[in-house]
Amino acid sequence: MDIPLRLLLVEDSKDDALLVIHELRRHGYDLICERVDTAATTQAALDKDRWDLIISTYSMPQFSGLAALALVQKMGLDVPFILLSGTIGEESAVEAMKAGAHDYLMKGNLTRLIPAIERELREAKVRQERKQAQEFIDYLAYHDVLTGLPNRALLQEHLQQTIKDARREHKTVALLLMDLDRFKEINNTLGHHRGDMVLQQVGLRLKDAVRESDTVARLGGDEFAILLPLSDTAHWEIVAHKTIKALESPFVIEGIPIAVETSIGIALHPAHGDSAEALIQRADVAMYVAKRNKSGFVLYEPTLDQHSPRRLALMGELRQAIDQRHLRLYYQPKVDLKTGQVTGVEGLLRWQHAQHGFIPPDQFI
């Protein structure tokens, strides 16, 4: 069976080109071939088609094999490149190989042509397979396999770069973090296979709800994120409403309509943080408040954060306050309104902090 081969011949001699073509066809190659002999025609051929092999003569009146090789390298093409010459010397051959040619042959002796071509095509295939494998590994490192969306690692990179750009241009950045409500029930009732299909469709709807410049990511499980590089600081609210509306219609999975709702937490740069980690953490805080309150979406504010630096500091200082007797117990009488008599008392705990003054019990109990 003939072997298909797309060959670009850089050759000014028609006779020499015909000899190469004849040799290849004699050994079972089914050729699609084009002959060029100038920089312009070579560039046009490289732009127009994808070639499996390039064979070039070393020297021509208006062009050269090394110049053709330079064009191939400039375009970043990984194509086997073999030089032919009737007069090439050892120094020129070494120069050609150092420049990136895969092999060189003498025109008067083509016995090495077919073995050289077979070897270079095999090695090119191996290089291509390795490149594809590496590209797939790189893709897996930065993308969610199920939905094809960016994963947490890629979102953090995009977010940090977007914050850097926004800082320079004095713009706002919004991060929307969302969690699907009661998604565990879908998996438990209908199975993980159908749950995965829901997640795939959620990803598609979210992408349709935002601009091309916005980033939709899946962070894991039923958690998604939308990154908005904003110029209009009110845009985050529009996107939050659009996102909720986009998920309103039931998802039909194998004939089963499935309702999905979401809770969204929103954090803004620079108002709520100046790093990717800070915005993700604060959007996460707002998201859980939205889930608890069943309010759709919530914009972060410090009072929502049970893990703020001040709160963590108070937790440490509270132990000292107990040991040093800085807590005070006050009694509030309970009065019978009919008789005016005191019928009992309530014990109320107060903390008089040295730096922050009076701290109400709902902040430290």
Q: Which residue numbers are catalytic?
A: 222
Whose tokens are 């809770």? That residue is 263
- Contact yes or no for 82/101 (Cβ under 8 A): yes
Instruction: Please provide residue 334's backbone torsions phi and psi, each rounded to the nearest 5 degrees.
Output: -110, 120
Instruction: Please provide residue 246's backbone torsions phi and psi, each rounded to the nearest 5 degrees.
Output: -65, -25
Residues 6+ apart with CB under 8 A from 145: none
* 70 vs 242: CA distance, rounded Å: 51
Question: What are all long-range contacts of 33-37, with beta carbons under 8 Å and residues at least 24 apart?
Answer: 33/6, 33/7, 33/8, 33/9, 34/7, 34/8, 34/9, 35/9, 35/10, 35/11, 36/8, 36/9, 36/10, 37/10, 37/11, 37/12, 37/62, 37/63
